[in-house]
Amino acid sequence: MHLSKKRATGWWVLILALALLAPSLYFPAPAAAVTSPRIADQNEDVHDDYVTLEAEINLYSSNFHLTEYGFYHDSDDEDLRYKEGPDENWVKVGGAADELGPGDTFMLDLSRETIEDAAGFDPDDPYYYRAYVIYEDLDFGSQRIIYGWFNSFQLDEETAPEVTTRAATAIESDTAVMNGEIVDFGGDDEITEYGFYYGTTSSPASKKKVGDSDDSIDAGDDFSYELTGLQANTRYYFRAYARNSQGIAYGAVRNFLTTADERVPEVTTRAATAIESEAAVLNGEIRDFGDDDQITEYGFYYGTSWSPTTRKVVGYASDSIDEGDQFDYELTGLKVDTKYYFQAYARNRHGIAYGTVRYFLTESNGGKPRVTTMSSTAGQDWATFNAIITDEGDSDIKSYGFYYGLTSAVPNRIEVGRGIDEDEEFTYRLSGLKPGTLYYVKAYASNDEGTAYGYLHNFSTQAAPVTSKASVFTIGSTFYTLRGSAQWMDVSPYIRDGRTYMPIRYVAYAMGLGDEDIIWDPATRQVILTKGQTRVTLIIGSRNIYVNGSPTTMDVAPEITNSRTCLPIAWVAQAFGYTALWDAWGRTVTIE
């Protein structure tokens, strides 16, 4: 059926009017905007030992579903630009099973250790990160990944503790106590672990933990550890250590020597008595039993050489000799006018010990006197000779005195007097001698039967005073003179294995170097000294000395004593054009 043209027009007018009055009845409303997931915000919170990363998701629409989210992190932002898949720096935080919705945040804690282990990490450079989200588009059934922008941060500066190694105490043959001190906590408020490393080399590797963060140790507190089961007569090295969250620190390496096990006795040789032409009495004393409760044998060795070999047993374990007791033996059948040597000995179950070698001279039947040369005393340019008449012989003493000189021939004769009694001493003071010089002297005495001589002795006059340009160090003393000015050291020179060891820093002062010219490198254990165009390098434990890079081999190596570098100083003095002079009489070293 067809509507008339007039009626059709009426319907269209009605429809248009309704649309204008209520458009929603005819035109459908536009669809809501479709919003996909995005990283709305990123930030980080840096702590002492970890960093918290945080990211926020935008208010995305329900047309999308999150399947995974997390962070990338790396020391180089270029490594974060083109990620093709997970690696060690791709960290998943959550996935589809987690209830993370629009507008929520997610976080990740990164440990300091993880960050420092990243390839190319430098604490002075920034560390980069960015968040990521993997989501599924429900309309198209596809999966996509989006990233946050690049953010970065820097770790706080690390500061390890400060710890000092102190000298070992209570040292026995198999035990010793190691000691240390916590000087400073460093960049943290607690020590997480502290203790010692020890061993028989200068790089000790065996670890003994003393305490940890559960202990209430404070800065300035001492700590110790008793080592047991050590080997006797063995040198051990050790150093203290302390750790906080920022790292580990070490004290200087020190050492100690365990005492000898199974100690032998201690015995003393005393002077011979009752000396006649064919007999004499040898004397000795038991000073200490050693590591045993009895002496199994004791007596003397004697003979006409400095190394006497003829043995005379005085007693055995069955005797009741005690510590401090003296013993003797009468020798008979000796030769007249002959020098004999002897020494006491004592044995326990651990071994044998000897006293010093002494000597005596049997009397003479020739009628000559007997005279003994005694020790001389000396200054810089003078000396006092000493002697005693032990026997007048068969007639009165007609002349007595001394022979002396710069050689053992002693060509110079001095008559002290005439007519002296037996057992009477005589002396002579001689002036005009050379300072720091070795002299020889022997006494003489004459009667009607002839002249007798005492044994040859020697002595050294004292060295002349040094000029103000010289510096003088004394063995065993912490005081020294620096170009004429009295000074103090915190460690004294000492002698070991026939070599004089001196603290290098104070000797450097004596050679005109200042603190800025002395460099200690604990990593390489090197001491570097510089003066003008001369640079000297020494390495602890090495016998090489480098002068301007050229090596020379010394006969000993530098060592550390009481936290100070010491070495035989002649090598360093020579490198800088100085001389180290040794005075055995005064036990001094002069640097000039």
- pLDDT at residue 32, rounded to an integer: 43
Mean local confidence (pLDDT), 250-260: 89
**Would you say the CATH fold of 471-591 matches that of 266-361?**
no
Dihedral of the CA atoms 579, 585, 587, 592 (nearest 10)? -20
Q: How far is CA 477 from CA 178, 483, 487, 503, in A?
A: 26, 17, 11, 12
The Cα 425–Cα 446 span in angstroms is 15
Stretch among 166-175, 268-277, 284-293, 351-360 having the lowest mean pLDDT? 284-293
pLDDT at 244 over 70: yes
Q: Is the pLDDT of residue 75 over 90?
A: no
Higher-scoring residue by pLDDT: 8, 518: 518
Segment 376-403 mean pLDDT:
92
Q: What gap in Å lies between CA 398 and CA 396, rounded to an integer?
A: 6
Model confidence at 339, in pLDDT bands (50, 70, 90)?
very high
What mean pLDDT do residues 67-77 have? 88
First to last CA, the chain: 139
Q: What is the pLDDT of residues 479-513, one digit of tens each?
A: 888 877 778 788 888 887 777 888 888 888 888 88
If pLDDT is split at 50, 70 and 90, which confidence band does 207 have? very high
pLDDT at 30 (0 to 100): 43
Output 25 or 476, whichever has higher pLDDT. Answer: 476
Residue 424 has pLDDT above 80, yes or no: yes
Q: Which of 18-22, 128-132, 145-149, 415-419 has the lowest mean pLDDT?
A: 18-22
- Average pLDDT (373-384) is 91
What is the Cα Rg of the chain in Å? 46
Fold held by 39-153:
Immunoglobulin-like (2.60.40)
pLDDT tens digits, one per residue of 518-557: 888 888 888 899 988 899 998 888 888 898 888 888 888 8
Q: Residue 86 CB: number of other CB atoms within 10 A? A: 12
* Region 18-28 average pLDDT: 45
d(Cα 499, Cα 571) in Å, to the nearest integer? 12
24: confidence class by pLDDT, cuts 50, 70, 90? very low
The DSSP secondary structure of 138-156, one letter per residue, reads TTTTEEEEEE---EEE-PP
CATH level 2 (architecture), domain 471-591: 2-Layer Sandwich (3.30)
Predicted confidence at residue 336, as pLDDT, reads 79
Q: Is the pLDDT of residue 357 over 50?
A: yes
Confidence of residue 400 (pLDDT cuts 50, 70, 90): very high
367 has pLDDT over 90? no
| Res 29 pLDDT > 50 | no
Q: For residue 1, what pLDDT is reported?
A: 42
The CATH code belonging to domain 162-257 is 2.60.40.10
| Domain segments of the chain as ranges | 39-153, 162-257, 266-361, 370-460, 471-591
Q: What is the DSSP string of 158-173?
A: P---EEEEEEEES--S
Q: What is the pLDDT of residue 181?
A: 94
Q: Looking at domain 370-460, which of 2.40.37.10, 3.90.226.10, 3.40.50.300, 2.60.40.10 is its CATH number?
A: 2.60.40.10
- Mean pLDDT over 381-405 rounds to 93
**pLDDT of 187 over the 80 cut:** no
Q: What does each C-alpha distance from 517 to 54, 265, 480, 537, 558 come to in angstroms?
A: 51, 52, 21, 12, 18
Among 264, 257, 254, 256, smallest CA distance to 286 is for 264
Q: For 232-257, what is the mean pLDDT?
A: 90
CA distance 410 to 404: 4
So what's the pLDDT on residue 27?
40
Q: Hey, how many other C-beta atoms are within 10 angstroms of the C-beta on 99?
A: 6
For the chain, give the percent of residues with pLDDT over 70.
91
Residue 443 has pLDDT above 90, yes or no: yes
Predicted local distance difference test score (pLDDT) of residue 23:
45
Give percent above pLDDT 90 in the chain: 36
CATH topology classification for 266-361: Immunoglobulin-like (2.60.40)
Residue with token string 């500061």: 159
The larger pLDDT score, comparing residue 42 to residue 584, is at 42
260: pLDDT strictly greater than 80 = no
